[in-house]
């Protein structure tokens, strides 16, 4: 059984708490070129591959949900497509390193055969290899499950965060299970993961975007919490929490950034203006961390914030 410290708080309450203590920090937009007039958003944090840092990003036309995931490298202050890198027909990329191997994935989306703009379902898919050029598919999550993330534990086992939806009368929640090897990452195992209680109100939802093993064995989870107003106006906030895999206990959620900390810019649609989708975080070792985020489903930004995982290292 999984447990949480405290009771779920609404997005509004968490945001009010965050505004009381947030530092005066401003994000910057990442510039992407070489992809025509398409948008790049919902990026990963940079990660090493063949001796250089690479970012994976969701690339699509402003008027479409049909996406590609491409790999980018920085050249003269701009991020350009990496030459000869594979391109995946996915959304919302992510990565982790498990037992020295690169694990890459994204969301595979299925469209109606008669209406190419109507999404019928989706699932998380996984690839593995020791470098991007060698990636091969090896696992798929259950239908309608996004935000499945892996982390190598101190024991060598693999922690798996899931995102079932719905869960009873709740929109979506975060689950957790463990496996001994990547070969055990099956749909059934993900479906049967225990759910962390008391993280979201039933009308709100969230998911994990990245998991970091901390020196004390606690997992620092970067994620998002979201709500919807009347008129289906969406509000997404980057959040973090700590998870103890031994006690199987989660700390309370905390918001770590908000849309007004980033430069103004376009949105894919009016209902997506207040959307930040946590892509990844780089801990800088000086008490700060750099958060990489999709912004309003149209741009990709980064911002230096207080390291949200520091407090979990003393648990």
In the chain, where the domains are located: 3-314
pLDDT of residue 6: 93
CA distance 127 to 105: 6
pLDDT of residue 113: 77
pLDDT of residue 81: 98
Please give the CATH number for the structural domain made up of 3-314. 2.115.10.20
The percentage of residues in the chain with a pLDDT greater than 90, rounded to a whole number, is 94
pLDDT of residue 23: 87
Contact 169, 202 (CB under 8 A): yes
CA distance 2 to 177: 10
- Average pLDDT score, the chain: 96
pLDDT bracket for residue 117 (50, 70, 90): confident
CA distance 55 to 112: 30
Whether residue 116 is predicted with pLDDT greater than 80 in this model: the reply is: no
pLDDT bracket for residue 19 (50, 70, 90): very high
Mean pLDDT along residues 127-142: 98
pLDDT bracket for residue 86 (50, 70, 90): very high
Contact 124, 105 (CB under 8 A): yes
């Amino acid at each position: 059984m999984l447990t949480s410290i405290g009771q779920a708080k609404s997005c509004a309450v968490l945001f009010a708490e965050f505004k009381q203590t947030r530092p005066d920090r401003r994000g910057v937009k990442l510039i992407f070129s070489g992809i025509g007039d398409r948008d790049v958003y919902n990026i990963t944090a940079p990660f090493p591959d063949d001796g250089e840092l690479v970012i994976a990003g969701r690339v699509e036309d402003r008027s479409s949900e049909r996406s590609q995931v491409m790999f980018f490298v920085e050249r003269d202050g701009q991020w350009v497509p990496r030459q000869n890198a594979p391109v995946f027909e996915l959304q919302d990329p992510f990565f982790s390193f498990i037992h020295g191997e690169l694990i890459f994935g994204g969301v595979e989306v299925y469209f109606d055969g008669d209406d190419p703009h109507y999404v019928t379902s989706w699932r998380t898919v996984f690839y593995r290899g020791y470098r991007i050029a060698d990636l091969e598919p090896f696992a798929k999550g259950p239908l309608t499950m996004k935000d499945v993330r892996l982390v190598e534990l101190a024991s060598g086992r693999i922690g798996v965060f899931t995102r079932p939806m719905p869960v009873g009368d709740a929109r979506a929640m975060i689950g957790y299970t463990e496996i001994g090897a990547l070969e055990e990452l099956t749909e059934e195992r993900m479906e049967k993961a225990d759910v962390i209680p008391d993280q979201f109100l039933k009308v709100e939802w969230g998911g994990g975007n990245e998991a970091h093993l901390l020196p004390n064995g606690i997992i620092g989870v970067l994620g998002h919490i979201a709500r919807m107003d009347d008129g289906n106006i969406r509000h997404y906030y980057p959040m973090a929490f700590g998870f103890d895999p031994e006690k199987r206990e989660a700390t309370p959620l905390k918001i770590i950034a908000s849309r007004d900390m980033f430069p103004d810019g376009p949105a894919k649609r009016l209902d997506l203006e207040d959307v930040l989708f946590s892509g990844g975080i780089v801990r800088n070792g000086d008490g700060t961390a750099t958060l990489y985020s999709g912004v309003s489903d149209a741009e990709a930004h980064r911002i230096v914030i207080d390291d949200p995982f520091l407090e979990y290292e003393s648990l």
